[in-house]
Structure formats: structure tokens, C-alpha cells
Chains A and B, each alone.
Chain A
């Protein structure tokens, strides 16, 4: 069941969006459950109680707790990077803070069914890629962690340090070989750093800043490949569109 949330103070729009979403889901033959909130506070209240959503359509211009505040609460306070946030707005201009929340997309009212279908498809596709596991040997036991949780892998001498959202672990291995087995959104940016693009906050040509603020340098020989990787992942994100 795909959990969808809508948060907008315009009740008519919410009803319309809900209806369209059910229709689109039927066309895509996915089971969804749509829940609606009319204010940022009520949404935050439920999220705190443990409501979890796969995707939330969030109005930017909510009255009290606006979309930026709600978004940054989800990302920063709750440390939830998995919920896809789609901003909806009547205007075309966006504040810089919105881009830090890494929304899946921006939609301008009125929202067409086509566009909604495209966004939902993209969300579903990204979610699908998350059910992969990374296996490694530590001593005599084999460890298994979901690849979606891995932030980065670092090589130190002959050991590999794997950093996930919940903690760290080390094992023996070769970074280059590991890079080949992981999904394409893992990128080698340095001979001893393998990062997960999902956890990148900002790229520069010579460094990447991760969500937690860590900065990794991109060494010279890798810069060209990184450029094409960035473009590739961007193109894949929008491919469904055209």
C-alpha cells in the first residue's frame, strides 16, 4: 500500500487532488491510501505520532506552519530522507530554502492529471530501487544492509568503513570492486571514497557536501566521470516526463 499525503489549506483543491490521485493510481494499478491534512500543524502532529508516508504533496503557502517549515521538520528534525516531498504552489517563484529540502518536484496549481501521474510514477520507481541489499563478510559472518541506508564507503588501508544512517562498520575489501556491485547511484569520487548520491546535499566541481555536512573532495581524475554521472541521474529523474 502506497501511503500518500496531501497538505493544503484549500479544501476543494485537496478533494480534487485526492480524487485525481486515486484515479491515477488505478491507471498505474497500484494500491494507494490518500490522507489529507488542512494545516501544517496537524500534519506535523500526526507525523510526530508515527504516521509514515511514502509521498506528501505539500502546499508552500500554508498559513501558520508553511511548507518550508514542515519540509525542514521532516528532513532535519525527524531525519527522514525517504518521504518524497512534492511542493505545490500557485506561484512560480521559490525560495532558496525549498531547494535544500530536496523535493521530488515542484507543481504549479492547477495541477494536471498527466503531471500527477508522472510524479507518482517517478516516486514509485525510486522507491523500487530501494529494496536492494549490500552484503559483506565480517569475520565469519555475512552482514546484510539495505543499500538505501548506506551514506558512503571509505577505504582505510585494507579496510573498508561503511557509514550508514544508523552507524558505522568496518570490514576487509577493495573499494573499486565494491563499487562495481553497488547500484549506479553510488559514485567513486576519490580512490578512497565511494558516496551515495542520494545523500548528497550539494555538488561542486571539486567537492561534495553530504546531508550531514561532511565534505568529501572529488579528486581530479574522477571529476569528468562525476559530471556525466550527475547528468545521467538527473536525466533519469526526468525521463518519465518526456
Chain B
């Protein structure tokens, strides 16, 4: 008997660690808080041992360990529903594997009495197998996506993902307390285990898919911006060509004015020529194609929507930036600013962008309303579909952090100012 207890104590440690690994497959962990999680899992380990010691393999034990697992997930970042779902999937897998093994062993040697330690050991082996499968799948998935954490899934997707383990949990509970025969019991619990493994896999596929959809959306926007830029450039070209065409006439006219010594009229004439040459669609021409196209596209929209749009961009022509990330930052900031400014009376927007000593500075200032003065930690979205509105300030912040930059959002006298710095070398 003593030997059996020792086996359970050891095997349970392994089992609990496997459960932690599984949880981490779903809930991404930040490195910094590993200590706390280790302490948490140690507590959970003791909890399961105590529960097992008191109740044995009963519903009380299962309920207690399930609840413990759910509490453990609070050490991870993520929404409540996601944590609940993660603990449910892991719990169901644990339960299903336990039942599968106990039924299976009972089937193999009906005469032999199996030590509970043996059951635990085999169950842990099965869990190990599942974890390995999960890990292999996850790796394949993570390589496809860019490894972004915490992807927002659609409500519909979440509910599907949620019901699968929930239903399997119910089935397992009924099964455990029911009188179903040995073989069916084994089959059903094995099927439930498989189902949960599939749920997990489905979750991974969905995450990667959503990531792809999001990236495609950004690329689509970028293509659209490039198209706009092409039109802008062609328009500029046309204007210059037209002016060149009429240059002879202009020179004649100017010469006549000069001969008459009509300085004012000559000045007016020159101004008219300059106005004609300038392309009103071309707000920014830094020579940096990516920045130009994005800004010209966004600013065209901004000019239609707002009263004052001021832009100051001083960056080198051939500044090599990771255009994808820069587009996300610039695009989001301008979109947000435009929207907020559009709702105010003043309708003002100002963008400053410059490179100094290898640091890219970006400041967007817009008129806004309803935000208290001071530093803003977190901006709540005003859009109704929170899940669909994932590409917000959070993403900007994440990209800024990725490049070791810094971001500050300040609000004063009805203006919101977002201030960003990023190191060029990293971009």
C-alpha cells in the first residue's frame, strides 16, 4: 500500500506538469511571471493529492481538481472565457484519459486487481502522448502565423469551441456515474479524449486562419494605397506635361507683363503657374514610396473629412523600414485620429514624423472629446463590435514594444496626442 502511495505521489507530479504544459499551449505565458506559475502549479499538485487522499477517485475529487485548474489559469493573461475554456479542455482531456485507462485496464485483465498507482501511471503516459501531439501541431501552426499572441476570435467560433469540451464533459460525468458496460465505456471515453484533442487542434487552426485573414486585410489596404499613389504620381506627371506644353505661351505672357513693368500681375501669373503645377492630391512627397503611398491615401480621406490637416514629415528617401509593421502603426493611428477628430467641432489632425539620430519619432495629434486630461493608459473602443475591432491601439502598442520603442498617449484641452518613438535599426 505504501508503495502505491509513493507511485501516485510521483506520477501525479508528472501529470500535473503535463496539464500545465497543455494549458500553456492555449494560454501564452509571459516569461517574467514563471515563478508565480511554478508556485501555482505546486499548489495545484498538493490540492489534487489532498483531494485524492480524502475522497479517492470520486466526483468530489474531479470537481475539486477541475476548479483548481480553473483557478490556476488566472496566472495567465487572457480573457475570462478563454481561461475557462482552456481549463475545461484540459480538464476533459485529463478526465477522459483517466477513464479510458481505467476501463481499458479492466478490459485487459478482468481477474487482476490493478493498483490505482498503475492506473495513474498509464493515464499519465496517455496524457504525455496527447501533449506531444498538441505540441507538434502547435509548432506547425506557429510557423505559419507570425506568432502573434492573443488573437481575437469571432463570437461564433468561440461558442463552437466552447460547446465541444462542455458537451464531452457532461458525457464523461454521466458515464462515470452510469452503469454502461465495460467496452462501451472504454470506447466512449476514448472518443471523448479524441474529441477534445480535435477541439484543441481546431482552435489552433482557427487562430492561424484569423491571423492570415487579418494580414490579408492589411495587405489589401496596402495595395489600395499603392494604387492611389500611382494615380497621384500620374496626375502630377500630367500636370507637369501640360505646363511644359504651354510653357512657350507662358513665357510670352510673362515677357509682355515684364515689359509693361506690371510687377503685380506678373507675380499673380507666376503664382497661378505654381498652383497649376502642384497636385492637390499629393500631400506628402518624401520619396519614400511606402510612407508616401500610405500617407497620401490616408490624408486624402482625412482632408475630405476634417477641417485642418497638418503634416510634417522629414525622413530619408531610402529609409528601410519593415513596411508591414510601419503600415499597421501609421494606418491605425491615423484611422483612430481621423475618427475621433471627425466627431468634434474643430476637426483637426496633425501628423509629425521625423528621423533623428537613428530614432523615428511619430506624433499624431487630433481634436477629441470625452477624454480626461493627463496620460491615457487604455483607450476603450467606441465601436460596437469589440471582437472585430482587434486592429486597434493594442496592436500599435505591441508593434512599438516589438521594436523596443516607447509610446505615450496624452490628452489635454480637448486634444489627444499619441507620441511614439522607435529605433530605426530595429525596424
Q: Do A and B bind each other?
A: yes
Which chain A residues have a beta carbon within 8 Å of chain B's beta carbons? 91-96, 98-99, 102, 106, 200-206, 209, 223-224, 227-228, 230-231, 234-235, 237-238
> Which interface class (under 10, 10 to 19, 20 to 34, 35 or more) fits B?
20 to 34
B400-423, CB under 8 A of A: which get 1 and which 0? 000111101000000000010101
Q: Is the CB of A92 within 8 A of B419?
A: no
Q: When A and B form their complex, what is the total count of cross-chain residue pairs whose Cβ atoms lie within 8 Å? A: 76
Query: Of B316, B403, B405, B406, which is within 8 A of A94 by CB?
Result: B316
Pairs A–B under 8 Å by Cβ, sample size 28: A91-B287, A92-B286, A92-B287, A93-B285, A93-B317, A94-B317, A95-B316, A95-B317, A96-B318, A99-B316, A99-B356, A102-B357, A200-B357, A201-B357, A201-B358, A203-B423, A204-B358, A205-B405, A205-B423, A206-B404, A224-B406, A230-B359, A231-B361, A231-B406, A231-B419, A234-B359, A234-B361, A235-B419
A202 to B355, CA, bound (A): 10
Q: Is the CB of B421 within 8 A of A227?
A: yes
Which chain B residues have a beta carbon within 8 Å of chain A's beta carbons? 284-288, 313-319, 352, 355-359, 361, 403-406, 408, 419, 421, 423-426
The 10 closest A-B CB pairs, nearest first, are A93-B287, A202-B358, A205-B404, A96-B316, A227-B406, A204-B425, A93-B317, A92-B285, A203-B358, A205-B423
Contact residues in B for A237 (Cβ distance below 8 Å): 356
Known: A93-B287, A205-B404. A234 touches B316 (CB 8 A): no
A96 to B140, CA, bound (A): 40
Q: Is the CB of B426 within 8 A of A204?
A: yes
Contact residues in B for A238 (Cβ distance below 8 Å): 352
Within the complex, the shortest CB–CB distance from B389 to chain A, in Å, comes to 28
Q: Is the CB of A223 within 8 A of B316?
A: no
Contact residues in A for B355 (Cβ distance below 8 Å): 99
Contact residues in B for A202 (Cβ distance below 8 Å): 357-358, 424-425
Within the complex, the shortest CB–CB distance from B376 to chain A, in Å, comes to 16
A96 to B406, CA, bound (A): 24
Within the complex, the shortest CB–CB distance from B418 to chain A, in Å, comes to 13
Closest to B317 in A: A93
Known: A203-B359, A205-B423. A223 touches B317 (CB 8 A): no
A206 to B404, CA, bound (A): 9
Contact residues in A for B424 (Cβ distance below 8 Å): 202
Contact residues in A for B286 (Cβ distance below 8 Å): 92-94
Within the complex, the shortest CB–CB distance from A207 to chain B, in Å, comes to 9
Within the complex, the shortest CB–CB distance from A144 to chain B, in Å, comes to 29
Q: Is the CB of A223 within 8 A of B404?
A: yes
Within the complex, the shortest CB–CB distance from B252 to chain A, in Å, comes to 22
A200 to B359, CA, bound (A): 11
Contact residues in A for B287 (Cβ distance below 8 Å): 91-94
A238 to B361, CA, bound (A): 11
A102 to B272, CA, bound (A): 36
Closest to B287 in A: A93
A238 to B287, CA, bound (A): 23
A202 to B356, CA, bound (A): 8
Contact residues in B for A201 (Cβ distance below 8 Å): 357-358
A96 to B314, CA, bound (A): 11
Q: Is the CB of A98 within 8 A of B359?
A: no
A234 to B318, CA, bound (A): 22
A61 to B222, CA, bound (A): 33
Known: A230-B359, A234-B361. A204 touches B316 (CB 8 A): no
Q: Is the CB of B317 within 8 A of A96?
A: yes
Within the complex, the shortest CB–CB distance from B306 to chain A, in Å, comes to 19
Closest to A87 in B: B314
A200 to B419, CA, bound (A): 22
Closest to A235 in B: B419
A95 to B361, CA, bound (A): 18
Closest to B403 in A: A205
Query: Of A91, A205, A223, A234, which is within 8 A of B356 by CB?
Result: A234
